[in-house]
């Protein structure tokens, strides 16, 4: 990896006007398995690939419930993500107590971004090594935000982060125009199809690498929306949704290489 004389401190600029430590932290996000988020006019969905350390180990948790109307999916250092989870849950609880009303998603994301920003400037600290996709539903409808270690945050219609996120994003860019009026089931289907892009090797050499793709064991989906509390689908609960994507990908002309092999 590129190293520089100016990369040892979070608060030192390089002559090119960059702060390398922050950029390294953003790289950590790409090391984590992918998370995909998307939303319609009424619902927001997030999906993620849960890696397992070994055959015998459990799959790591990727999606965390923050409140009844809010969830995050993390890519990067999960340990850092859990710290943020604790913070977000606490902020939501506090808000509910003080204002007797659920936390607005935008307000929470700004607070989180501000917290991350502090860690890019204060000496003796390091930036969080985790990127989050935040989904939520509030007075202003469904939301999808991405937050990053740099303290930046973005509002999205659809977005993917983590390992091979670009493949998922390509899928989302192709299909996002249909999301607005999509049903919750369609949104989940799209999220899984996008997620599948990040684990599948689409080239012909894939036959030699063991690749199960998206399974009920290594995927997780969360949805929240109008008249729907946050629901997280894992394990057996995912099977019906996975059944929906098995054929549809090939039918739509996607992943032709894979389908030809079968």
Partner 1 sequence: MDSSYGLDLNKPLYDGRYSWFDHSKFGGTVYEPKPNDPSTRTTDPIVTGTSVLAVKYKGGVAIAADTLLSYGSLARFRDIRRIHKLNEHTIIGSSGEYSDFQYITRMLDDVVTDNHIADNNLQPMDPKSIFSYLSRVMYQRRNKQDPLYNNIVVAGYRNGESFLGSVDLLGTHYQDDHIATGFGDHIARPLLRNAYKPDLTKEEAVKLLEKCLTVLFYRDARAYYRVQICTIGEDGVNIAEPQVLQTDWSVGNVTYGYDGRRTALPQA
By CB under 8 A, name the binding residues for partner 1: 97-101, 104, 106-107, 110, 139-140
Instruction: Decide whether 80 or 138 has the Cβ nearer to partner 1.
Output: 138
CB of 104 to partner 1, least distance (A): 6
For 53, phi then psi, to 5°, come to -70, -30
Instruction: Decide whether 139 or 262 has the Cβ nearer to partner 1.
Output: 139
For β-strands 219-225 and 130-138, DSSP reports them as unpaired
Give residue for tokens 């015998």. 56
Task: Give the residue among 66, 73, 55 at the shortest CA–CA distance from 234.
Answer: 73
Task: Give the residue among 251, 246, 242 at the shortest CA–CA distance from 221.
Answer: 242
Instruction: Decide whether 100 or 177 has the Cβ nearer to partner 1.
Output: 100
Cα atoms found within 13 Å of the Cα of residue 35, Cβ hemisphere only: 31
CB of 205 to partner 1, least distance (A): 46
Kind and range of the H or E element at 66?
A: strand 63-67
CB of 211 to partner 1, least distance (A): 41
CB of 151 to partner 1, least distance (A): 16
CB of 167 to partner 1, least distance (A): 30
For 157, phi then psi, to 5°, come to -85, -40
Instruction: Decide whether 159 or 200 has the Cβ nearer to partner 1.
Output: 159
Instruction: Decide whether 153 or 171 has the Cβ nearer to partner 1.
Output: 153
Pseudo-torsion of CA 225, 226, 228, 232, nearest 10°? Answer: 0
CB of 99 to partner 1, least distance (A): 4
* Separation between Cα atoms, residue 176 and residue 39, nearest integer Å: 9
Instruction: Decide whether 13 or 99 has the Cβ nearer to partner 1.
Output: 99
């Amino acid at each position: 990896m590129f190293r520089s004389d100016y990369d040892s401190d979070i608060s030192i600029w390089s002559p090119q006007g960059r702060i390398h430590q922050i950029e390294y932290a953003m790289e950590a996000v790409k090391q984590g398995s992918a998370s995909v988020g998307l939303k319609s006019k009424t619902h927001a969905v997030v999906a993620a690939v849960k890696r397992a350390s070994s055959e015998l180990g459990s799959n790591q948790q990727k999606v965390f419930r923050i409140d009844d109307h809010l969830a995050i999916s993390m890519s990067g250092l999960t340990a850092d993500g859990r710290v943020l989870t604790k913070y977000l849950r606490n902020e939501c609880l506090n808000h509910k107590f003080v204002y007797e009303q659920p936390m607005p998603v935008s307000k929470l994301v700004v607070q989180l971004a501000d917290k991350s920003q502090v860690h890019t400037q204060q000496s003796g600290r390091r930036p969080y090594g985790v990127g989050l996709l935040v989904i939520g539903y509030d007075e202003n409808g469904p939301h999808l935000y991405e937050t990053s270690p740099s303290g930046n945050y973005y509002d999205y219609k659809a977005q993917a982060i983590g390992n091979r996120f670009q493949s998922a994003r390509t899928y989302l860019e192709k299909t996002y125009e249909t999301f607005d009026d999509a049903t919750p089931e369609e949104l989940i289907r799209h999220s899984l199809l996008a997620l599948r892009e990040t684990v599948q090797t689409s080239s012909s050499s894939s036959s030699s690498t063991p690749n199960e793709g998206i399974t009920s064991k290594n995927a997780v989906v969360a949805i929240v929306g109008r008249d729907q509390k946050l629901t997280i689908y894992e394990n057996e609960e995912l099977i019906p949704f996975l059944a929906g994507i098995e054929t549809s990908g090939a039918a739509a002309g996607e992943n032709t290489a894979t389908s030809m092999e079968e």
